[in-house]
């Protein structure tokens, strides 16, 4: 029977080949340092095919790391609203994600990041370039402070996910989300917009 | 050649047998629920031999879970001094531990807890009964609030260890300890002694 569509089916291994090359490139060179052109070359395909399959570099990155959610869809909710309660909104969004089916993928990603240096690098790049950079670019803080603020927020939120979903320490494991929002929201707010310590004087 | 000491060498497997029985008991019944008597019975030895090898139940528990440090030796430093800076002292102690050789054991324990439910249970019991209970018993707060306060502190400190030593997100990964004490100390202080949210009204 004649094939009725004119579209090339492509090699079923091509998609996986591109994802493999992307994982290598993002882990070795970081999100900013990896180019679609270099990924395509490593996968021995045309860059246009990478765009055809995956869209933008952001989308390719999310696919390569099996990201449990797309921050570009969710973060606008956090960023809308007043600056003084962004910490609470970020914690509320974070808890909602982990309590949803995306949380299962999150647990798998976190486990993998802890036993596999490449997954750890991809998770770092994900947190930095896809989540924290987007949040912090919208706050009116000194850009030089963004990395420290971002990694402090990550330390609290990843610790919360660990205790609630992996270690399952009570009562955090089964506390009502709003209890945690009330307690942890101000922490995240302070890390985002509060004063940072002045650097200690050189010894 | 005649053996010159009168002390029985014991079965070299006995020590490991007791530790295995202890791990099972502590994971299944928790620290408080597991008795030396039951552990000795499971290992088919006399309870006196358990005490002889390991000392108290606390000491047996620390040995069974390969605890990277003994909280009873370290926590007095944190608990001495004024109540308003206990958060900073706890963060400083925690960072010092993870930056020491004990940190390597801590990384191994955390990795294991994430892939193994039994190790997760032992880590929970360790945090609850050996660390947080000792800290919180010395603060003048409502005993009913201790579990929530303790698990909030654990969420921040374990997240800090994750970001600094496992995921290695910069600049937290290589920040000067005192920078982190300044930023994270007030968080831990608020979780320990700050106001808790009133429970939300039933829906």
pLDDT tens digits along A193-203: 998 877 555 55
Is the predicted pLDDT of residue B10 greater than 70, yes or no? no
Residue A16 CB neighbour total at 10 angstroms = 11
Q: Which residue stretches of chain B are H helix?
A: 12-33, 36-42, 47-54, 57-64, 71-79, 86-98, 102-115, 117-125, 133-137, 146-161, 177-193
The shortest CB-CB distance from A111 to any of B115, B158, B171 is to B115
Contact between A37 and A47 (Cβ < 8 Å): yes
**Where does the pLDDT of residue A11 fall: very low under 50, low under 70, confident under 90, or very high at 90 and above?**
low
Contact between A150 and A133 (Cβ < 8 Å): yes
Q: What is the CA radius of gyration of chain B?
A: 20
Which residues in chain B touch residue A154, judged by CB atoms under 8 angstroms apart? 159, 163, 167, 169, 172
pLDDT of residue B6: 42
Please provide the average confidence, as pLDDT, over all residues in chain B: 85
Which residues 75-114 of chain A have a CB within 8 Å of chain B?
110-111, 113-114
Q: Mean pLDDT over residues B166-176, rounded?
A: 90
Q: In this predicted structure, which of A8-12, A37-41, B42-46, B75-79 has the lowest mean pLDDT?
A: A8-12
Is the predicted pLDDT of residue B183 greater than 90, yes or no? yes
Is the predicted pLDDT of residue B151 greater than 50, yes or no? yes
pLDDT tens digits along A135-193: 888 888 888 888 899 999 999 999 999 899 888 888 999 999 999 999 999 999 999 99
**Where does the pLDDT of residue A10 fall: very low under 50, low under 70, confident under 90, or very high at 90 and above?**
low
pLDDT tens digits along B62-108: 888 888 778 888 888 888 888 899 999 999 988 988 888 888 878 88
Q: Mean pLDDT over residues B104-126, rounded?
A: 81
> Tokens 């047998």 map to which residue?
B17
> Tokens 């030396």 map to which residue?
B36
Full DSSP string of B97-114: HHTSTHHHHHHHHHHHHH
ipTM: 0.79
pLDDT tens digits along A57-107: 988 988 888 887 788 888 888 888 888 999 999 999 889 888 888 888 788
pLDDT of residue A1: 45
CB pairs under 8 A between A and B: 144
Tell whether B179 is within 8 A of chain A (Cβ). yes
d(CA A60, CA B86): 46
The shortest CB-CB distance from B127 to any of A159, A166, A169 is to A169
Q: In this predicted structure, which of A5-19, B40-54, B91-105 has the lowest mean pLDDT?
A: A5-19
pLDDT of residue B78: 83
pLDDT of residue B8: 47
d(CA B14, CA A155): 42
pLDDT of residue A133: 82
Q: In this predicted structure, which of A187-191, B7-11, B30-34, B47-51 has the lowest mean pLDDT?
A: B7-11
**Three-state secondary structure along A109-176?**
HHHHHHHCHHHHHHHHHHHHHHHHHHHHCCCCCCHHHHHHHHHHHHHHHHHHHHHHHHCCCCCHHHCC
pLDDT of residue B37: 95
The shortest CB-CB distance from A159 to any of B127, B155, B176 is to B155
Element (H, E) at A190: helix A177-193
Nearest-CA distance A2 → chain B (Å):
50
pLDDT of residue A6: 42
> Tokens 């850009």 map to which residue?
A143
pLDDT of residue B32: 87
Indicate the DSSP class of residue A33.
H
């Amino acid at each position: 029977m004649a094939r009725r569509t004119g579209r090339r089916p492509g090699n079923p291994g091509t998609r996986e080949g591109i994802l493999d090359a992307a994982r290598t490139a993002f882990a070795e060179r970081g999100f900013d340092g990896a180019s679609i052109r270099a990924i395509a070359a490593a996968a021995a395909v045309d860059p246009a095919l990478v765009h055809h399959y995956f869209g933008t570099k952001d989308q390719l990155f999310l696919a390569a790391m099996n990201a449990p959610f797309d921050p570009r869809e969710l973060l606008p909710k956090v960023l809308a609203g007043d600056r003084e309660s962004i910490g609470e909104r970020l914690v509320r969004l974070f808890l909602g994600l982990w309590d949803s089916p995306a949380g299962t993928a999150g647990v798998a990603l976190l486990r993998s990041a802890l036993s596999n240096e490449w997954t750890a690098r991809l998770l770092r790049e994900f947190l930095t370039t896809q989540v924290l950079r987007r949040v912090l670019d919208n706050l009116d803080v000194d850009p030089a402070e963004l990395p420290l603020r971002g990694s402090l927020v990550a330390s609290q939120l990843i610790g919360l996910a660990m205790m609630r979903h992996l270690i399952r320490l009570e009562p955090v494991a089964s506390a009502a989300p709003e209890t945690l929002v009330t307690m942890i929201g101000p922490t995240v707010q302070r890390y985002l917009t509060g004063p940072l310590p002045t650097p200690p004087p050189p010894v």
